[in-house]
Structure 1
Amino acid sequence: MDGKSPLGAFLRARRQVTTVDQVGLPNIGSRRTPGLRRDEVALLAGVSADYYIRLEQGRERNPSDQVLDALARVFRLDAEATQHLHDLARHRASRHGPVGPYDWLRPYVLQFIEGCDHAVAFALNRRLDILVKNPLASALYHGLDDCDNLLRLIFLNPVAREFYLDWRQQAEDVTGHFRAALGTGGDDPFVQDLVEELSHGSEDFQQIWARHEVRTRTHWSISYRHGVVGEITLHYEMFRVGSPTAQQLVVGQAEPYTSSERAFRRLGRLAGSPADRH
């Protein structure tokens, strides 16, 4: 997906989106490519230019923790992205097995989702396939193509740009969460197939994916423009559900005493859920 060296691809991507203004260097002359030059990164990180070039090219595979931390500072990485950098450098195997063509939920998780009638609830795997959703979630995504996978919905369904009130933010957040969920497991063939499909079908995905941003989401809010109930904002919490394939349980509700709660009740009527009786 990103070349022979995942570490090199990550460094190259972060270098290209880091500006001289961000790192305090003078902006002298025009640049043929965006971002920092390799010799500038090397200078700021306290390593030789040749050493940094070998890191990007995958010819140097054992940088010290001090070098990695210095590079994280240069690229202004947060704690999560810094850990991702260390994992790539140490060739740490993904903590999870491959996604595979099917991904079975544990019975108690399935029972919870099917019985959850006061919140939108669904389960995801690391590819962000929606494995199962309750009636409220089905009503939320009703009539949308590609809603079997959050990335396909966002990037391959043109209706998504109207469905999400802030499509760009959602696209960046979900892509960053996808990369974080993969960890170093990007060589999973089923993940590679999805990335290839999205790259061929969406220039926006290509651009966002190429930045190598890492964003784990545990709680967030999304505003929608639903075709039946109108505008609605839902607040989500995400929980890992103890699976070796890193399945995630997502639960969303509207804030009480708001227009979104009224829209949520209408959504409940569509779903035949008790959520419409509060």
Structure 2
Amino acid sequence: MERDNEFGDYLRARRHLTAPRVVGLPDDSGRRVPGLRREEVALLAGVSTDYYIRLEQGRERHPSEQVLQAIARALRLDEAAAGHLFRLGLPTPAPATATATVSAELLRLLDNLQDVPAFVVGPAQDILAANPMAEALYSGFARFDNLLRMIFLDPFAREFYGNWDTAAETAVANLRDVSTRFADDERVERMVGEISVRSPAFSTLWARYEVRPRTKEDKHFRHPRVGELHLHFEALAVTSAPGQHLSVYSAEPGSASADGLLLLRRLADQDNDTETGNLYQ
């Protein structure tokens, strides 16, 4: 991942995404660039145009916290996007180091979550551990190893996700957030490089610089053996292991999706029994 002027690249991308009408400026047809002009951002932020240009070009690398706050307001950045701006623009301690090994205690917790799909992911969205329900949920994929690779490189994803575009946008926006929290994580860099080369859709979304940590959302799946599933997703940070999140899906009690999870549980048990039986043949 090229980091020579990531701060400037982020400013430019967010400027292009900010519609003039959102900040009270006329959206005239004579504009040669999408979104705001540099001088407009400078005016809204209360800095000189020359200073703002130097920020975008990487010739000014030490903006104050007050300047970053003003630019965040000018670009109408939400909390996640503004946090990303501050992590790029302000000197920080050494970035956190991700933990790749899942603890025995967390593995035991996964085993005890028998009625819902649950799995542990790392910063690069690698599947570090999963319970049988999660394996059954994603059983249609060729590999259940990395969510980004699954979404962008496995054709089954287009069938599995009820709204693939949303799933793709969310995955990339989450990775963009992670990329500054774990700026020296080689696995994140390798994953961005691999998916960028192989998926034009990923490259397009990555270049938008959308930032949105994946914490909770409602998901729609089309499972090949269970059918339609509408599940709620929660990502719980594992505070004892930096970079790890425990992802858990649940269904509304009494809903068709709750019945679907019961069927998925039976399928997971059957698959597990089959695998266990094969070990003794």
- Normalization by structure 1: what TM-score? 0.91
Task: Determine which of 187, 192, 197 is the counterpart of 2:194.
Answer: 197
Rounded to whole Å, the distance in 2 between the matches of 1:59 and 1:235 is: 45
CA contact (8 A) 1:2 1:9 kept: no
| Residue type of the alignment partner of 1:192 | E
Q: Shift in Å at residue 97 of structure 1?
A: 0.9
Residue 25 of structure 2: aligned partner: 25
SS in 2 for 1:272: helix
Q: Shift in Å at residue 18 of structure 1?
A: 1.0
CA contact (8 A) 2:229 2:260 kept: yes
CA contact (8 A) 2:62 2:89 kept: yes
Q: Shift in Å at residue 116 of structure 1?
A: 1.7
Between 23-32 and 115-124, the greater mean CA deviation after superposition: 23-32
| Residue type of the alignment partner of 1:18 | T
| Residue type of the alignment partner of 1:13 | A
Rounded to whole Å, the distance in 1 between the matches of 2:265 and 2:149 is: 25
Rounded to whole Å, the distance in 1 between the matches of 2:18 and 2:144 is: 34
Matched ranges for 1:8-19 at <5 A: 8-19=8-19
Q: Shift in Å at residue 54 of structure 1?
A: 0.8
- Whether 1:263 and 2:260 are equivalent positions in the alignment is yes
CA contact (8 A) 1:94 1:185 kept: no
- Whether 1:145 and 2:142 are equivalent positions in the alignment is yes
- Whether 1:176 and 2:183 are equivalent positions in the alignment is no
Rounded to whole Å, the distance in 2 between the matches of 1:94 and 1:256 is: 45
Task: Determine which of 117, 121, 126 is the counterpart of 2:123.
Answer: 126
Residue 79 of structure 2: aligned partner: 79
Rounded to whole Å, the distance in 1 between the matches of 2:2 and 2:74 is: 22
User: Structure 2: which 5+ runs fail to align?
Assistant: 271-281
- Normalization by structure 2: what TM-score? 0.90
- Whether 1:44 and 2:44 are equivalent positions in the alignment is yes
Residue deviations 1:21-65 (CA, integer Å, cap 9, x gap): 222112234333322121121121111111111101111111122
- Whether 1:188 and 2:185 are equivalent positions in the alignment is yes
Task: Determine which of 241, 245, 248 is the counterpart of 2:242.
Answer: 245
Rounded to whole Å, the distance in 2 between the matches of 1:58 and 1:78 is: 23
Residue 206 of structure 2: aligned partner: 209
Matched ranges for 1:154-165 at <5 A: 154-165=151-162
Residue deviations 1:94-141 (CA, integer Å, cap 9, x gap): 642156xxx211110011112321111100011111111100000001
Residue 227 of structure 2: aligned partner: 230
Residue deviations 1:171-201 (CA, integer Å, cap 9, x gap): 1112112222333433432211110111111
| Residue type of the alignment partner of 2:82 | T
SS in 2 for 1:183: helix
Between 142-151 and 260-269, the greater mean CA deviation after superposition: 142-151
Residue 273 of structure 2: aligned partner: none
After superposition, the Cα gap between the structure-2 partners of 1:122 and 1:216, relative to the gap in structure 1 and judged at 3 Å, is same
Rounded to whole Å, the distance in 2 between the matches of 1:220 and 1:29 is: 37
Rounded to whole Å, the distance in 1 between the matches of 2:261 and 2:246 is: 20
CA contact (8 A) 1:94 1:184 kept: no
Residue deviations 1:61-115 (CA, integer Å, cap 9, x gap): 111222111111111111222122112111324642156xxx2111100111123
User: Structure 1: which 5+ runs fail to align?
Assistant: 274-278
CA contact (8 A) 2:64 2:90 kept: no
Q: Shift in Å at residue 248 of structure 1?
A: 0.7
Rounded to whole Å, the distance in 2 between the matches of 1:62 and 1:221 is: 40
Rounded to whole Å, the distance in 2 between the matches of 1:40 and 1:47 is: 10
After superposition, the Cα gap between the structure-2 partners of 1:98 and 1:249, relative to the gap in structure 1 and judged at 3 Å, is closer
CA contact (8 A) 1:94 1:182 kept: no
Residue 276 of structure 1: aligned partner: none
Name the count of aligned residue pairs: 270
After superposition, the Cα gap between the structure-2 partners of 1:124 and 1:218, relative to the gap in structure 1 and judged at 3 Å, is same
After superposition, the Cα gap between the structure-2 partners of 1:146 and 1:49, relative to the gap in structure 1 and judged at 3 Å, is farther
Rounded to whole Å, the distance in 2 between the matches of 1:257 and 1:244 is: 35
The two structures, once aligned, show a CA RMSD in angstroms of 1.7
CA contact (8 A) 1:7 1:85 kept: yes
Rounded to whole Å, the distance in 2 between the matches of 1:181 and 1:231 is: 31
CA contact (8 A) 2:84 2:180 kept: yes
Rounded to whole Å, the distance in 1 between the matches of 2:234 and 2:182 is: 24
